[in-house]
Structure 1
């Protein structure tokens, strides 16, 4: 090769290298942290990247029970490798208080136009919106038709306005157990405050917190102690299983060992695919002297205020929440009802027509409009939930209700004192 041609060749190569380098530099990569299983968001991320060339999303997966500690450690130290992350609704106040969430007040009009009201409330604190509403939740009373038929029991109605009371359900659960079911009844989230809060709220005993900022524990009233003893008796009397974790509970139901189970609507899809499982869904029961109350509140999408790629982070957050196609696709991850209005209706139609759960949409729509109660909106919720979950675990495994609640109050007072 001549010297002139060689120089031209090298220059051409350099130009190409520079062009490629500039093209690569134009790509922005954002970090997305969630507690879903590895690969869970792969499809919706691929759709986002196709619709937004130049933005790449690097998903990071942390187990649910480690996510809160990871967020506090990483964002608390100024880590900017997390641009977008999933935030459990009741943690929004604390994260906002700590400066972990971008103030989305300038996005309010767009968020309110696209999202249902209940999830917006869950993403808000102190008059501001701090996260994009992502998913919402409701609960079903799942029941095994074969076990009920074996015991000569009628199937519960799918009409949420005619739901069973606890006083009606538990005797039936006992009959099913006597007829051969290994267990009569269980909560799938058997010691998590999220699913147990409605027991107290149904009878008007409150969420266990009081005061202007909900930083005063209120666990030892007669009503709270009485209701906690009711919960304890489920396990002490052998109607519900001890020693089974939330992660193991769906398998207990799908394998035909459990007659009735209160559980999240997201289990329906897996149960439809369970071989030999003949099941139905009804609305979550309530106490006859109270009113129907059901849990709600799921994940939101937060943006790290210290992100150096805010535009890209906001684009991804909006795609999976405010964009109806992106939100519907993301609802297949858990699967939980999307907060997006349009995607929510499409989700209910899809799940109602999927087989075995024709009442799916009616129950979810009714409960979110009439019976759903969010978890307490307080900066102390993280401390509260961690201690309540431990307390409920102790009680279902045999600890006495009143002393356990008294100890929990003491721990919470000390914990709340460190927040003020």
Structure 2
């Protein structure tokens, strides 16, 4: 065949290949990842920065479903339990991760060398792993810590140690409590909820030497450590807390602290970036940080929480979902946020490299205390007596949500003076016992 006649079929073949490629590109562009996430600041920022991921991966389109925390839990739990397939990537908490991986509901995450899984903080990585395999990747994590006004402590002649005890905190609260001038000795959560007042109260019970359940799964709410811890908490807030403490949660106390009304506050480490920001807090320059106080044991004195990204086990888009999770929880993503919004606004609590970064250390003077708190939390060993559950400020069993909500309401009532501590603990014990029997833990 003459060479001139060969050109036509070659050109036709090339054209056909080009068409096939363009159709292949279109087909690939149909990979739409539906991501269920929570409506907090860090996650909203991730959505804004998602365009960088789409530019680098033109075959993947991101679709966001942004929900309030309670609604998010409900929607993703229903979807994963019924194998609904509504979401390709889910935002889940440290509470769900061990329960769902045990049930086989989550896809194992495969990471490459560039992701550097060993850079993840051990406490967080451990809470998201089962049998050495990672089932969710942490987007940001937190522990709890003491935030206090150093000017008031100095005026009282008190040097707050790096690891204070609860009696020392009570003593300082009594010295700086000045309600006539709008300053309260200490502010703590009182609003009912398993992840609200019970997150704090559980850490208090832990450090007093208590636990939610013994090794036979029997609830321990009427034990000595529970009675001592809750009595201490009620007494402390009644004497040195702001009025209406039983209705206060994170946001209410943040507002009080930023306006200079709280002498001390024990809560999520994430709050440190807000209370030390002069744009938000009128006492930013006076704020100092220490570890959460301890009592009879340091075990479980400060909580551990993280928001994480996971892939449902039955997903049809595992490769694309894996790619997105690797991007959004990577070192590069943290650098991208720093470049866009500054180091003070990066998601914290997940990677050693973030805390080693001098720019981050300079922007976040609470960084060392935050990392120490996260590192010291151990979800597999958070109580003085041996416990059968995983979790610091919760027990990672499906029944805990209902138990925690009911007990939280009782604790809030005791704080408000509507019931006694003993009566509240007795009612909590009855509820917990009923739920555990219903769950088949014992007869």
Q: What's the TM-score, normalizing by structure 1? A: 0.81
1:320 and 2:328 matched = yes
Aligned with 1:41: secondary structure? helix
Q: Relative to structure 1, is the Cα distance of residues 388 and 55 closer, same or farther in structure 2, using a 3 angstrom cutoff?
A: farther
Following superposition, the deviation at residue 250 of structure 1 comes to 0.6
Alignment equivalent of 2:348, drawn from 326, 330, 337: 337
8 Å Cα contact 2:121-2:349 kept in structure 1: no
2:290 to 280, 283, 295: 283
2:375 aligned partner: 369
Q: Say whether residues 1:404 and 2:432 are aligned partners.
A: no
Q: How many Å separate the matches in 2 of 1:350 and 1:381?
A: 40
Q: Please say which of residues 88-97 and 189-198 is displaced more in the overlay.
A: 189-198
Residue 352 of structure 1 corresponds to: 361
* Structure 2 unmatched runs, 5+: 1-16, 383-390
- Kindly state the Cα deviation for residue 67 of structure 1 after the two structures are TM-superposed: 2.2
- Indicate how the Cα distance of structure 1 residues 408 and 17 shifts in structure 2: closer, same or farther if over 3 A, else same: farther
SS at match of 1:298: strand
- Equivalences for 1:219-298 in 2 at 5 Å? 219-237=221-239, 239-241=241-243, 242=245, 243-271=247-275, 272=277, 273-274=279-280, 276-277=282-283, 278-291=285-298, 293-298=301-306
Is 1:419 matched up with 2:424? no
Q: 2:99 aligns with which of 94, 100, 103?
A: 94
Q: Secondary structure at the match of 2:51?
A: helix
Q: 1:309 to 1:301 in 2, by over 3 A?
A: same
- Residue 173 of structure 1 is matched in structure 2 by 173
Alpha-carbon contact 2:33-2:61 (below 8 Å) kept: yes
Question: C-alpha displacement at 1:125, in angstroms?
Answer: 4.2
Q: Deviations over 1:376-400 (max 9, x none)?
A: 3444443443334333333322232
**Which runs of 5 or more structure 1 residues have no equivalent in the other structure?**
1-14
Once the 2 structures are TM-superposed, how far is the Cα of residue 99 of structure 1 from its aligned partner?
A: 4.5
Q: Per the alignment, do residues 327 and 405 of structure 1 end up closer, same or farther by CA in structure 2, a change over 3 Å counting?
A: farther
Partner of 2:203: 198
Matched, 1:135 2:159: no
Give how far 1:131 is off. Answer: 1.6
In the alignment, the residues of structure 1 paired with residue 337 and residue 159 of structure 2 have an alpha-carbon distance, to the nearest angstrom, of: 31
Indicate conservation of the 8 Å contact 2:169/2:293, yes or no. Answer: no
Q: How many residues align?
A: 391
RMSD between superposed Cα atoms in Å: 3.3
Query: Aligned residue for 1:11?
Result: none
Q: 1:114 to 1:419 in 2, by over 3 A?
A: farther
Distance in structure 2 (CA, Å) of the matches to 1:58 and 1:166: 47
2:75 is matched with: 70
Aligned-pair CA distance for 1:116: 2.2
Deviates more, 1:172-181 or 1:64-73: 172-181
Q: CA deviation at 1:189?
A: 7.2
- Of stretches 292-301 and 255-264 in structure 1, the one that deviates more from structure 2 is 292-301
CA distance in 1, matches of 2:433, 2:58: 51
Per the normalisation by structure 2, the TM-score is 0.77
